[in-house]
Chains A and B, each alone.
Chain A
Amino acid sequence: MQSIAGPFRELTRKRDFYAGGLMLLIGLGVALKGWSSYRLGTLMHMGPGFLPTALGVILALIGIAIAGAAASAGGPASEAGERILPDHPQWWGWFCILAGPALFILCGRYFGLIPGTFACVFVAALGDRTATLKSSLVLALIVTALGVGLFSYFLQIPMPVLTWKGGL
């Protein structure tokens, strides 16, 4: 494994290298945006762009330090901790977890609290490997009943329980 691994292959396993790179990118982006769009001002009369630009530069420098330390460490990194993706990537699970709240927004906005809650819990529950349609359905129904009872009737949040393209 180590012998066939080319330099790029080795890089893909260097978690810290990418971590530093990400920080560098974010830092540069923030600094450039702050420098170009907002007034910097002087040290005495700081403009709105001063601190964000400074912080962006600092973050970029830290990013370089993190990536630099990773690159200079050298040697093949074969530990599991070096990999960015976990051993068994859960793309479906991750998708379901992110889709749940997204559906909550959509259904909640247009159809009300009950459909929003149901869709959110149902889809999120499907993300588990052992979940079946039936088990997710039952869980979603239970959570919807309890949740709507608690939030709509007990805590009285101002969100229509059931509506059709309600004016939210």
Chain B
Amino acid sequence: MIATALTDLWYGFGVALEPHNLMWCFIGVLVGNMVGVLPGMGPLATISILLPLTFGIPPVGAVLMLAGVMYGAQYGGAICSILLNLPCHPPHAVTCLDGFPLTQQGRGGVALGITVLASFVGASWGITEMIFLSPLLVKAALEFGPAEVCSLMLLGLLAGSTLARGSPLKGVAMTVLGLILGCVGTDLELGSERYTFGLTELDDGIALVALALGLFGIAEFMNSINQVAPISTRYTKVSLRDLRPSKADLKQSIFPMLRGTMVGSLCSLIPGTGPTIASFVAYATEKRVSKTPERFGTGMLEGVACPEAATHSSVQGDFIPTMSLGIPGDAVMALLLGALMIHGIVPGPQLISQHPDIFWGLVASFWIGNVLLVLLNVPLIGIWVKMLAIPYRYLYPSALFFVCIGVYAANNDMFQVGEVIVIGAFGYLLLRLGFHPAPILLGFVLGPRFEENFRRAMLISRGDLGVFVERPISAVFVALCVGLIGMQIYFRLRGAKADLEPAAENGGVSDIAPIELTRRRAPVRPAE
């Protein structure tokens, strides 16, 4: 098994090292890193904006580039949180807790250096996991009938919506809304149109690009306009020499890095627990393991190394269900899958055997991309730091133009720019009502496939809903779904009085929630 995996990996490196693929990977990583540094631009917005640009290039290059954008933006987000105390991207919220105090002590460079290293270690482990676990999962998944696929999707959707941030009930509501939006357009089997209200432009459904850019572009701009405090670049002078950690620093952070990696990879195995939860759990674990837990929050290198390693290991791990089962764990993965589908590639267990160049090329490109990131970040850190100072009032109008032209260019259709406006305004309303719109995308991408499999399962079972619990594998997934819901209800009942005790126990987690809400509004005060 190891031998075949290594041969496949070798083949993957061959694909990823082809000059044009290497170029797309490089461009993706560079642009992702650059945009990720900009305050107010997370990976979701970055990928959504760049998505239309990838339609013109071959699928392999497009996927390599988009994946590069994603982990490039993750690296960039870490810079933002350590030097500015601005968690542009939720997983980095915990990095702020110890990263910014380090910066205040003049050790921001070391923190960045450790971050780069920790990310690389975490990502490497995640990639290794992907190489060995994905073929196993595929082998199991190829046995799945429509009923199994259906209940697995249900589990993925439930996990993705209830375990993400915010109220689980609202998360489920957003997923259902996404599924409904996915129904718009021509019916898959009978060809009759649904919910198009006579608009022929909607016959092909709502455009994924328009949905993503409305929710993560325009709604976010509306949320941030005139709310972004001018950024103080007082601490952002970092030179190349500062980056190199001393031997003592390395010794201090090597075990936290490995522990973080483990936490991250465990979290990525549970569907729906993305990098954000992984980084919170890693920080809490590190605090508990530490001999000096009281010093956390005052600038401990461990507090930077552990969550960063966890984030990156879990991000890579999230690719496993996405690529091998076709079931994305969060909105970023859903976008990547959506991009694949736009290129005409059907996600699912058959992907690895039908498109080995995409899968193994992607795996190999992760490593190449991560090496590129280390190489890029070291000399370019000075430029990134300067970019942090770009005021938001120049940023959002330019980004808005990219949104418009990107949506237009996706299908050469002005109608979809109109879709973006409507979706953006609606998305902002949802944000104000306390919904997190990310699960919408999850439901939207999975919706049509869910419907197709559900119909097929019902056809095979002659309309008997019992098929979902009669078939053993499917029954396990259904049981997990029930368990998930039961757990949420239990927490709800118990937490009603104690005000989310489990969150408080995890140390720091309860401090994170307000940070997320107020993120980017003003530099956040480091939590006690």
* Interface positions of A (Cβ within 8 A of B): 15-16, 18-19, 22-23, 26-27, 30, 33-34, 38-39, 42-49, 51-52, 55-56, 58-59, 62-63, 65-66, 69, 81, 84-86, 88, 90, 93-94, 97-98, 100-102, 104-105, 108-109, 116-117, 120-122, 124-125, 127-131, 135-136, 139-140, 143, 147, 151, 155, 157-159, 168
Contact = CB atoms under 8 A, between A and B. Distances in A.
B375 interface: no
Interface in B151-196: 167, 169-170, 172-173, 176-177, 179-180, 183, 187, 189-190, 192, 194-195
B216 interface: no
Contacts, number: 188
A98 B180 CA distance: 25
B222 A108 contact: no
A93 B56 CA distance: 34
Interface in B411-461: 412, 414, 417-418, 420-421, 424-425, 428-429, 432-435, 451, 454-455, 458-459
Contacts of A124: 396-397, 400-401
B225 interface: yes
Given A151-B409, A155-B53, A97 B218 contact: yes
B221 interface: yes
Nearest to B178: A55
Chain B, interface size: which category? 35 or more
A128 B456 CA distance: 52
Contacts of A88: 226
Contacts of B222: 90, 93-94, 97-98
B463 interface: yes
Nearest to A150: B405
B52 to A, nearest CB: 9
Interface string B388-420: 000011101110111111001100101001101
Which of B177, B183, B420 gathers the greatest number of chain A CB atoms within 10 Å?
A: B183
Given A59-B180, A157-B412, A93 B226 contact: yes
Which 8 A-B residue pairs are closest in the complex by CB-CB distance? A44-B463, A43-B463, A128-B393, A48-B187, A19-B433, A93-B225, A124-B397, A125-B397
A19 B435 contact: yes
A98 B429 CA distance: 13
Interface string B54-97: 00100000000000000000000000000000000000000000
Nearest to A87: B227
B462 interface: yes
B195 A33 contact: yes
Nearest to B424: A98
Which of A90, A97, A127 gathers the greatest number of chain B CB atoms within 10 Å?
A: A97
B465 interface: yes
Nearest to A99: B421
A139 B405 CA distance: 17
A127 B393 CA distance: 9
B411 to A, nearest CB: 11
Contacts of B53: 155
Contacts of A66: 167, 169-170, 173
Which of B167, B396, B412 gathers the greatest number of chain A CB atoms within 10 Å?
A: B396
B257 to A, nearest CB: 36
B517 interface: yes
Contacts of A116: 404
Contact of A98 (B401, B412, B425, B458): B425
Contacts of A58: 176
A147 B183 contact: no
Given A42-B463, A66-B173, A117 B225 contact: no
B173 A121 contact: no
Contacts of B218: 97-98, 101
A127 B225 contact: yes
Contacts of B434: 15-16, 19, 81
Interface of B: 53, 56, 167, 169-170, 172-173, 176-177, 179-180, 183, 187, 189-190, 192, 194-195, 218, 221-222, 225-227, 392-394, 396-398, 400-405, 408-409, 412, 414, 417-418, 420-421, 424-425, 428-429, 432-435, 451, 454-455, 458-459, 462-465, 517
B107 to A, nearest CB: 34
A69 to B, nearest CB: 7
B401 A147 contact: yes
- The main secondary structure of chain A at its interface with chain B is helix
Given A23-B173, A58-B176, A157-B412, A100 B183 contact: no
Given A56-B180, A121-B400, A84 B408 contact: no
A138 B53 CA distance: 26
Nearest to A116: B404
B224 to A, nearest CB: 10
A55 B401 contact: no
Given A62-B172, A105-B418, A94 B225 contact: yes
B414 to A, nearest CB: 5
B485 to A, nearest CB: 12
B432 A85 contact: yes
A38 B194 CA distance: 8
A105 B415 CA distance: 8
A145 to B, nearest CB: 12
A92 B26 CA distance: 40
Given A52-B180, A105-B417, A121 B401 contact: yes
A66 B177 CA distance: 14
Contacts of B420: 101
Nearest to B407: A101
B221 A97 contact: yes
A81 B421 contact: no
Contacts of B401: 100, 104, 117, 120-121, 124, 143, 147
B408 A159 contact: yes
A49 B227 CA distance: 43
A142 to B, nearest CB: 8
A49 B194 contact: yes
Contacts of A128: 225-226, 392-393, 396
A139 B56 contact: no
Contacts of B428: 94
A27 B218 CA distance: 24
Contact of A44 (B183, B221, B459): B459
Given A88-B226, A121-B401, A157-B412, A44 B56 contact: no
A47 B173 CA distance: 24
